[in-house]
Amino acid sequence: MRCLVTGATGYVGGRLVPRLLAAGHEVRCLTRDPRRLRDVPWAPKVDVALGDVARDVGLAEALAGIDVAYYLIPAHGQDPIEDADRLAALNFAIACEAAGVQRIVHLHGPQPAGREAGDIFLRCAVPAVVFRAAMIIGSGSASFEMLRYLTERVPVMLAPAWMRNRVRPIAVRDALRYLVAAAAVFPPPVNRAFDLGGPDVLAYVELMRRYAQIAGLRPRALVPVRGSAPWLSAHWVGLVTPVPHRVARPLIDGLRRDAVGGEHDIARYVPDPHDGLTGFDTAVTLALRKIGAGDVETRWSNAAVPGAPSDPLPTDPSWSGGTVYRDERTRAVAAPPERLWRVIEAIGGDNGWHSFPLAWSVRGRLDRLVGGVGLRRGRRDPARLYVGEALDFWRVEEIVPGSLLRLRAEMKLPGRAWLELRALGDGRGGAVYAQRAIFLPRGLAGHAYWWAVAPFHAFVFGGMARNIARAALAGS
């Protein structure tokens, strides 16, 4: 099938495209800004059409020769944008009819504006399959990120009435499975909406409690209060999390009533997997998967095709993927990269950390006081390191000889931390030293810890960068 995907720079669309390609379909992406697709690895395999659904620009050209058209543009659901949402859906429906498209596929959440777009497609002349998903679980999904941030950052909070309503979330991998199937398995007469959801039906407060347990957080205290006030809740979300108010408001509006769906008719056309649909706990575990610092900034190019749908993508919004704190520093070194590398590989143990010895000693002693390993493990060899061995209160997670040393912290922390040291050539015989400290906070204590120690980073990490560069220059 020849498929057009709108919203390919969005959460679902960016994960759908490579799966359509893997299923043997030809794909064209409609976008207002082709530059946003420049860095995705599947870009050379698709046609990119410039256009704007809201302004009815480029639709005829983008839909020419298309069999199945995916409408994955999220609805804003707030006045006066509601009229623009309806107009965009109507423009798309008319253009699909004029182009002779065989099917429209649409996915929307529980918000009313999304349902309106679905109704428009179901009333047009082109058969449509409309999927209704109350909540998609995957790193980058707006509804999941709101759940993630609220749970991690607010250990005690008031729970308005909408938080006690039930929802039936679906893992992104299952939602994508249905979307891919929609390109081929539905017979032409099918023109209807289908409810999508996983095996679990839970109140939002229970979702927060289950998330906290899976993420290793202390139990959250949720105090029930009367009333909903979704506008106030949306402002609260915007205040305490990176999720913008304009994104949170339609999500909360959609949860003002139970969002559990009333049927599972989709199984008549796309049978459930042999091991069943993905449960909430498993979906959250997959969404939180970060195997070392290399996956903190997970890109689609780092995953095997068709990839891990729960992982973040380059096109995901900046507030998705959970909080990641970084301290990054670079220094030019007038010495060959191999000399810089010798200094990097020899770091730690009796050789020291090239930075404010008292601070490292105090940190090691504090770690031992709370039951950690401290600095007592030292290093096995004064000049060579291997993956998996201990290095003071770090563990060597990755080493690329001559280029990269990545250490994973094993001290007691309210979160997870890595330290990356790199030796890069500057193309002129010299070197560039690149240093990156990464911290993934766990709960409110993790955020407090980072900001408490941040004022000392200039002394600790800044001093390390300067002294490593000096040591390489001196030939030590």
Give a yes or no: residue 38 inside a domain.
yes
Residues 261 and 207 in one domain: yes
Q: Do residues 144 and 241 touch, judged by C-beta distance below 8 A? A: no
pLDDT tens digits in sequence order for the chain, 476 residues long:
999 999 888 888 889 999 999 999 999 999 988 877 877 778 899 999 999 998 889 999 999 999 999 999 877 555 444 577 888 899 999 999 999 999 999 998 766 555 678 889 999 999 999 999 988 998 878 888 888 888 888 888 888 888 888 889 999 999 999 999 999 888 878 899 999 999 999 998 899 999 999 988 888 888 888 776 767 777 777 777 777 777 777 777 777 777 777 788 999 999 999 999 999 999 999 888 754 444 433 332 333 333 456 655 656 666 566 778 899 999 999 999 999 999 999 998 888 888 877 777 787 777 777 666 666 677 878 888 888 888 888 888 888 999 999 999 888 888 888 999 999 998 888 999 999 999 988 888 889 999 998 988 888 899 999 999 999 988 75
Q: What is the pLDDT of residue 63?
A: 95
pLDDT of res. 171: 93
Taking a C-beta distance cutoff of 8 angstroms, is the pair 33, 9 a contact? yes
Q: Global pTM?
A: 0.69
Tokens representing 328? 């990054």
- Determine the structural domain holding residue 467 and report its residue range: 325-474
* Of the candidates 202, 187, 214, the residue with the CA atom closest to the CA atom of residue 258: 202
The reply to whether 464 falls in a domain is yes
Are 281 and 335 found together in one domain? Answer: no
27 domain-assigned: yes
- The residue among 268, 302, 336 that closes a domain is 302
Q: Is the domain of 280 the same as that of 392? A: no
Q: Is 20 among the domain residues?
A: yes
Residue 286 lies in a domain: yes
The predicted structure's pLDDT at residue 100: 94
Examine the domain organization and report whether 14 and 85 are in the same domain: yes
Tally: H helices and E strands in the chain: 14, 19
In a shared domain, residues 89 and 214: yes
CATH number at residue 32: 3.40.50.720
Please count the structural domains in the chain: 2
Last-in-domain residue among 302, 317, 341: 302
Are 237 and 333 part of one and the same domain?
no
Could you give the dihedral angle defined by the CA atoms of residues 167, 151, 155 and 285, in that order, rounded to the nearest 10 degrees? 100
The reported pLDDT for the residue numbered 82 is 57
The CATH number given to whatever domain includes residue 459 is 3.30.530.20
For residues 268 and 362, state if they share a domain: no
On whether both 281 and 422 belong to a single domain, the answer is no
Q: Are 228 and 161 in contact (CB under 8 A)?
A: yes
pLDDT of residue 80: 44
Beta bridge partners of 435: 329, 421
Residue 324, judged by CB atoms within 10 A of its CB (0-12, 13-18, 19+), counts as middle
Q: Are residues 292 and 333 in the same domain?
A: no
Residue 316, in any domain of the structure: no
Residue 311 lies in a domain: no
What's the chain's length in residues? 476
- Same structural domain for residues 262 and 344? no
Domain termination site, one of 302, 336, 361: 302
The half-sphere exposure of 406 on its side-chain side, counting CA atoms within 13 A, is 13
**161 in the same domain as 42:** yes
How high is the pLDDT of residue 318?
61
Looking at the fold, whether 333 and 443 belong to one and the same domain comes out as: yes
Whether 315 maps to a domain, the answer reads: no
